[in-house]
Every structure is written in structure tokens, then in C-alpha cells.
Amino acid sequence: MSLANQFQPTLGRRAFLGLGAASLLTLSACGKHSASSSSSNSSEGTPDANQELNLVLPSDLKTLDVNDIRNANEFLVLSEVQEGLFRTFTGDDGTDDVECAGCESYDVSDDGLTYTFHLRENTWSDGKPVTAQQYVDSILRLVDPANGFSYSFMASDIEGAEAFMDGEGAADAIAVSAPDEKTLTIKLANAVPFFIAKLANLCFCPIRKDLIDANGDGMANDYQKQVYCGPFVISERVNDNSVTLTPNDKYWDKGSVKLQKVTYTIVDEESTQSQLLSSKGLDAVDGTTEYVSQWKKLAEKGQLSYTSKGDGSSNYLAYNMHTGGPSGLMNNVKCRLAISLAFDRDDFNNTIYSGLNTPAYGLIPGGIKSGDDEFRSVAEEPLKAVLDQYGSADKVASLFKEGAAEVKGSDDLSGVKLEILSQQTNTQTKNLTEWLSQKIGGTLGVEVTINAQSETASFVSERNAGNYDFYVMGWNADYSDPLTFFDLFCTGSGYAKYMGGYSNADYDADYASLSTTTDQATRTETYKRLEKNLVQNAGVAPLYYGTRNEFQQAYVKDLSLPQFGTAFEVKVAYISGKSA
């Protein structure tokens, strides 16, 4: 996605169709989506005359540039106004179905390296055709190191891309081409079993290089300078307030679009969301804490529909390993590990999230597959072994003192302060940081202060200046494989500035070995080592795995709830019975 909590990241997707025996196999699982099987609230009801849907944005959009996307709120909006090769819906069993969108079909070579996509006829909102070269332009722009796009690593499987990103290769050596206007060819350096799932990410959407070149940086956040190739267009935007979508009459599948208006309103307080949901000012929300019980009662009465499932997110403390933090201690593994062990995760979950999430002792949440196995079912959470080793608060406090002595030459903790950086936009965030401050400070015997920022810009400024020892961060999976988390913590990762800057030679070597490893059992064992390395060396401090509690009005039909990608897929959604 995706960044969570402070940045509200992206999610992701999953789906891979197996290779056939022929040297070039045409895959046919690209039929048009069936609206009747899309969501938790499907119906054959007659659409109302008024087709308006109201949803929430947790914060304002930082960019409208698909190559530069990084946050969950941007995925919410841009997923509906732009379209890449694939689009994700919710299947009958509640899992994600990745379906052909910008392409009608695709072929995969027998060695799993060469993908050929056959594009459908589609048109941008300004009337110009969507072409294969626009996909090529997008990939080349995504991986250009001069742009510094955070999602560039998603394209590292493409032959020549990683060398170019590392400054060791040329753009014309990247194996992506457009033999004609409707054919896109991508060759991989090594076979990747989930490459199609990765391509469903918005960062691979086609771009209009002609407009980007003409408008420059000013286009990135100006909706009136954008053009759109998805089901909707942005028709209005009020900064820090709302974004409004209306149907794209140039879209190839406009006949499937029933909604005439989709409004995303920025509402960060859950109390306000609850009021709007009760008054039908909002049509669907993700509930996180105190209002879930109240909304469940409304669902039991048939006034709302309710879906609960893991959201594919992992949430953790990110330590300042760039500078060591204001305390100067964050580059010491013992100090970091002591902080990781200094609080009770069950108490945290129950107090802050009313027990709705899952306490985390590893990086990878439930529901993420490693081959055919759910990773969490075959891999013990690595922090549990460390908790067994340091089974008391006294041992944890002693560990912190040992680390401090290694840095400062003395285990005297008088004057030692740890600083939590927080963007406090709502009551829950305030309660969370205060709870962590009290519990960590109490266990370690030090003062833990809170650097509270009310605005995103000031939070980013403080983060970039290194004015923190740790802060709460998270990641929503982009596809169903542990790799979607592990690539965040490689030395020099595009997300290092958000994730604390962990750097470990063994970790990097294990990660690099995956590029040539196709045996799934070997990949799973490597994933186990990576998670153990990161968590037991306190590259992060796991907090919780997110659970999605989604509520929607009973009159909202066929609203898809993907686990990976956007939280709400609205292409085929409609309103039925609201006026009854």
C-alpha cells in the first residue's frame, strides 16, 4: 500500500495462474467481472434513481501521480479513476479475484520469464487512446532513480530494472517493450510466481508522458490537469475536505458503472464517522474501536451489513536507525530489543483497540501465503522466543541498561529520554502514544516524551530531521506473499526513510538469494530467516496485525472489499432501496 497509521498506506493483491506445458500459453481467465458475486452485500435489487455513494478519506491526498503513490487514501481514489492491466474484486469466498482490466488476455512463456499482454480498446478522458507505449513509459518512469519513487522496487523483477535503479545499467536495457499499440511485452530476470499480482498495483498504470512533460511537477496534485482511463474521473476536489468522482464516459466498460457520483470526505475522528453513518451521511466505513459493538447491533437488526477479516496489515514501532535518535541509543540492538519487550501486546490491543486486532510477535500477518501455505501456519512468530528468554520486566530493564552502557559508557539512566514522534489527528492516536509512553518508560525506568504533531507536513519535517527515537508505522500487503513486507527493510530500500533504516548484511544476502530461488520450500525457509533476523534484532517492534471491521448501509450493493489494493472497489457498486 502500502504506509499505515501515520501515512495510511496501500494494500495489495494476489492471484497467479499456473504455467502450461506449451512454450507460449494463452491464459483465458480474463472474463468480464460478474457484479452479482462481488461483495459482502450482493443483490439483484433494482437500482435507485439516485446513485450517489459517500465514503471516508482518512486524510487528504498527497499526490495524484500513480507512479508516486504510497498511501491508502490515494489507493481509494486513484483505483477508481485510473486502470492498469488488472483490477481486483472480492470473490464469492471473500478472497480477492484479480481480473483482466486494461488487458483482454495475456500469454506467459514456458520458462515463466516473458509476459505478453494484449490490451483492450480503451480511451483516456481526453479522447486519446490508451496504448502499450504508455505502459512502457510508466515502468521506465517508475524505476528511474532520479524520480525516487517509493514503489520502484515493485518493478525490480523486470530484466534490467534493478541495475538501472542501482545506477549500473541503462534505461534501454530494461526488458519492457511495445511491439505495437495494443501489445505490451515484459521479460523478467527470474521467474516470479506472483508477478501478475504485483502488476495489479496502481504504480504500473499507464501514464501520459506527453502531459507530464508539458506540465511538469505542477500536474502531480492538480486534478484538472489529469486525464483518466478508469471508470470515473475526479470532477471536483476541495483540499483538506473532499474529492468527488463522476463516471468517465470514455471508459471501455462504462455500461457496468451505475454510480453517478462518489464523494470521499475527509473525516479522521471515528465519533464523527459514527454520527454520519447513523444519519446515512456515510454509506460505508471501516470501524476500528469503540463503535464496532454499536454498529454490530445495527447489523443484527438488518440496518447495516458487516464484514470482519484480516486486512493484511502489520503494525509496528519503527526505530530511528538513521541517526540513533535524540537519545543516541537507537543504533544499539539491545536498547531497541528492550523497547520491543517492554509492554504487553494483549493489554495494548485490549486497551487501545478494544481487542479487535491481533497482537503481533512477528512481521507477517495472517492470511499471507507462502506458496500454498499460509505463512503464519508454518512459521513461529520470532518475538515469542525472545519473550521466553527475557521473561520479566527486571530482565528487560537490565537489557536496556546493558545497551545504554555500550553506547554511553555507563548504565546510569538518569537524564536518558526516549522520544515518540506522533501525528495526533484523533483521540485514538493520542491514547496510543500516551499508553506506549507510560508502559515503555515504566518498564525501562526512563522518561518517554511525545513529540506530537497535528499536521502531516510538520510530522514529515520532524521525521526527516531525525527528531524521534521511534514512532508507530505499518504496512498493508500489496500482494499475498511475505516478500511484500521483507523488501521494505533491505539496505537502501525506497521505504527506508519511513521504516527506520534497518541495515543488516545477512538480511540483505538472504533477500538477494530469493531472486534466483524458485523452489517454494526453500523460499519459505528464507522468509523465516528474514523475519527472525528483523524481529530478533529489533529492526522493528511488532505491535499488532490489523483486522478490518467494515460496515455498510443495507442499500449499498456490490461494493467489493479487496484485501490487497484499495479498501473499497466501487466500479460495479450501486444503491438499491435507499429511498424505500
pLDDT of residue 317: 97
Q: What is the DSSP code (8-state) at residue 263?
A: E
Average pLDDT over residues 514-525: 90
- 338 has which bridge partners? none
The confidence score (pLDDT) of residue 269 equals 81
Nearest of 91, 65, 90, 88 to residue 78 by alpha carbon: 65
- Do 51 and 256 touch, CB atoms closer than 8 A? no
Over residues 537-548, mean pLDDT: 95
- The residue among 345 and 493 whose pLDDT is bigger is 345
Separation of alpha carbons 73 and 423, rounded Å: 16
Is residue 578 within 8 Å of residue 264, measured between CB atoms?
no
DSSP string, 118-166: EEPP-B-TTSPBP-HHHHHHHHHHHH-TTT--GGGGGGTTBTTHHHHHT
Task: Kindly report the pTM of this predicted structure.
Answer: 0.76
> Residue 28 pLDDT more than 50?
no
211 has pLDDT over 80: yes
Give me the chain's average pLDDT, please: 89
**Residue partners of 128: CB distance under 8 A and separation at least 6:** 208, 227
On the question of pLDDT at 41 being above 80, the answer is no
Residue-level pLDDT at 44 = 67
pLDDT average, residue stretch 253-263 = 98
Is pLDDT above 80 for 226? yes
Averaged pLDDT, 542-567: 91
pLDDT digits 0-9 by tens, 154-169: 999 999 999 999 999 9
pLDDT at 10: 31
The pLDDT tens digits of the residues spanning 172-205 come to 999 999 999 999 999 999 988 889 989 999 999 9
In DSSP terms, which residues pair with 118 in a beta bridge?
105, 183
579 and 493 Cβ atoms separated by less than 8 Å? no
3-state secondary structure 479-492: ECCCHHHHHHHCCC
Q: Please state the φ and ψ torsions of residue 307, each to the nearest 5 degrees.
A: -135, 130
Residues 456-471 have a mean pLDDT of 94
Residue type for position 406: E
**Per-residue pLDDT at 110:** 93
Is 475's pLDDT higher than 70?
yes
What pLDDT band is residue 17 in, cutting at 50, 70 and 90? Answer: very low
At 37, the pLDDT band (50, 70, 90 cuts) reads very low
Q: Which percentage of the chain shows pLDDT scores above 70?
A: 92
Amino acid type, 439: K
Please give the grid coordinates belonging to residue 314: 502489520
pLDDT reported for residue 113: 95
517 or 82, which is more confident: 82
Q: What pLDDT sits at residue 283?
A: 96
pLDDT reading at 344 higher than 50? yes
What's residue 376's pLDDT? 95
Q: What is the pLDDT of residue 477?
A: 87
The reported pLDDT for the residue numbered 12 is 29
pLDDT at residue 21, rounded to an integer:
22
pLDDT band at 19 (very low <50, low <70, confident <90, very high): very low
Average pLDDT over residues 531-540: 98
- Express each pLDDT in 47-86 by its tens digit: 999 999 999 998 899 999 999 998 889 999 999 999 999 9
Contact 520, 371 (CB under 8 A): yes
Q: Report pLDDT for 30.
A: 59
Which of the four pLDDT bands, split at 50, 70 and 90, describes residue 217? confident
Look at residue 334 and give its three-state secondary structure.
Answer: helix
- Which has the minimum average pLDDT: 41-50, 141-150, 322-331, 379-388? 41-50
Confidence of residue 558 (pLDDT cuts 50, 70, 90): very high
Q: Residue 71: is it exposed, middle or buried by C-beta count within 10 angstroms (0-12/13-18/19+)?
A: buried
SS3 breakdown of the chain: % helix, strand, coil, rounded to 5? 35, 25, 40
pLDDT over 70 (residue 1): no
**Per-residue confidence (pLDDT) for residue 290, from 0 to 100:** 67
**Greater model confidence, 94 or 335:** 335
Please say whether the dihedral angle defined by the alpha carbons of residues 362, 365, 370 and 374, taken in this order, is positive or negative: positive
One-letter amino acid for residue 580 of the chain = A
For residue 259, the model assigns a pLDDT of 98
Helix (H) or strand (E) holding 336: helix 333-341
Confidence of residue 43 (pLDDT cuts 50, 70, 90): low
**What average pLDDT does this structure show over 432-460?**
95
Round to the nearest angstrom and report the end-to-end CA distance of the chain: 38
| Cα–Cα distance for residue pair 351/87, rounded to 1 Å | 37
- For 282, the 3-state DSSP assignment is coil
pLDDT at 111: 92
- Distance (Å, rounded) from C-alpha 144 to C-alpha 161? 9
The yes-or-no verdict on residue 6 having pLDDT over 60 is no
Per-residue pLDDT for 499 more than 60?
yes
Cross-strand pairs, 97: 89
pLDDT at 468: 97
User: Which pLDDT score, from 0 to 100, does residue 289 have?
Assistant: 64
